Amino acid sequence: MTKIAIIGGGAGGFFTAINTAEKHSDYDITIFEKGKNVLGKVKVSGGGRCNVTHACFEPKELVKFYPRGTKELLGPFHSFMTGDTMEWFEKRGVALKIEEDNRVFPVSDDSQSIIDCLQEEIRRLGIKVKTQSTVTDITPLEKGWSISVNGTEEKFDKVVIATGGNSQSVWSELEKLGYKIIEPIPSLFTFNTKDTRFRNLSGLVVKDASVKISGTKFLEQGPVLITHWGLSGPGILKLSSVGARHLHEKNYQFQIQVDWAFSFDKETVEGTFKSQRSSNPKKTIHNSPLFDIPKRFWHSLLQFCQISDQKIWAELGKKEKNKLTEAIKNSTISIHGKSTNKEEFVTCGGVDLKQINFTKFESKLHPNLFFVGEVLDIDALTGGFNFQAAWTGGWVVAQNI
């Protein structure tokens, strides 16, 4: 009987085990999880609702959401895609829905629906799950592998490593075997700033913004959320992901340029000010928020530009107009540090992708050693993409193991 060890009791490990057992009913499969509980990240994903995947159904478009893994995932996505994930769960009784931003969640709005589905499949297929099982000493044999579980040696024909993006002990073991590990660093995080423009505006969202890291080509567009410590929201999280290594090198001390009215070019902004002067000359600027900028933030920008609450459009001078245009279209903001949601921690880094054969997600250095999920140097933007990489990897391994 072929014995399979899957190291890691998260989404990737469970999905690999289930699909392998369905394809190979004679395989003896064991999942080893070092923690007390399995599927912890599934539990907290999407605010406890589990953002299963994303409603992007073209592989060439989907890979654009992966700052690391773009090239490597294109082929695998042709084998198992977002639509396949949705079908897989729905066939097993989990109804899914696509929300306005194309994120996919269970209709129940409860991650427990996904956990229950995966657990039920594990039970149905007779897959063993051993928690509080720390794996060390991963050693290749002439045939198969030897691993040490809580100090006891066990032998397996094939090993799948699916330990996630915080796998220091496993990465150390792999380095002994000759694997290059790209230094793991945070990939999705928010920006800390003490800029006075955001004082007392926590919870406010500017929907039509773009954000650029000053002095670089890193630029992303999307809603920006003002928090009590700085800036968050999709626009910021996307930028933190694509610029992760650059920002790490900067020790998270940098500047950003923010366009708070991305859909309106500079000429349109200036033209709108001109038309306000002619059509609403006696109306106060304070009570005339423009370009979909929230009223309270509009007031903050006016204060920053030293434009009084009583000033009317007819009194807006050229210098003030230029200053307000700059504040809207090109705000320079100093960032001093980051904040990470530890429950949904995503890393940039892991096993060097050059050492993996992505037609099988198998090691190029050792046969019968497979890798799934964030243990690899693969990470994605927020929106269900990291889970999709895990589902796809697990599926491909199951077809080839």
What's residue 170's pLDDT? 95
The superfamily in CATH containing domain 3-185+342-400 is FAD/NAD(P)-binding domain (3.50.50.60)
Tell me what percent of the residues of the chain surpass a pLDDT of 90. Answer: 94
Q: How far apart are CA 144 and CA 217, in angstroms?
A: 47
What's residue 166's pLDDT? 83
Compute the average pLDDT of residues 247-270. Answer: 97
Q: What confidence tens digit (pLDDT) does each residue in 193-207 have?
A: 999 999 999 999 999
With contact defined as beta carbons under 8 Å apart, do 20 and 398 qualify?
Answer: yes
Pick from 187-191, 207-211, 327-331, 339-343: least confident: 339-343
| The pLDDT of residue 15 is above 70 | yes
| The pLDDT of residue 173 is above 60 | yes
Angle between helix axes 70-79 and 385-400 (nearest 10 degrees) is 60
pTM for the model: 0.86
What's residue 195's pLDDT? 96
What's residue 64's pLDDT? 95
Residue 178 burial by Cβ neighbours in a 10 Å radius (0-12, 13-18, 19+): exposed
Q: What confidence tens digit (pLDDT) does each residue in 79-132 have?
A: 999 999 999 999 999 999 999 999 999 999 999 999 999 999 999 999 999 999
Dihedral sign from CA coordinates of 86, 129, 183, 251? positive
CA dihedral 9, 12, 16, 22 (to 10 degrees): 90
pLDDT bracket for residue 345 (50, 70, 90):
low
What's residue 342's pLDDT? 53
Compute the average pLDDT of residues 165-189. Answer: 93
Tell me what percent of the residues of the chain surpass a pLDDT of 70. Answer: 99
Cβ neighbours for 275, distance < 8 A, ≥ 6 positions apart: none
Reduced to 3 states (helix: H, G, I; strand: E, B; else coil), residue 325 is helix
Q: Where are the domains of the chain?
A: 3-185+342-400, 189-339
| The pLDDT of residue 373 is above 80 | yes
Give the mean pLDDT of the chain. Answer: 96
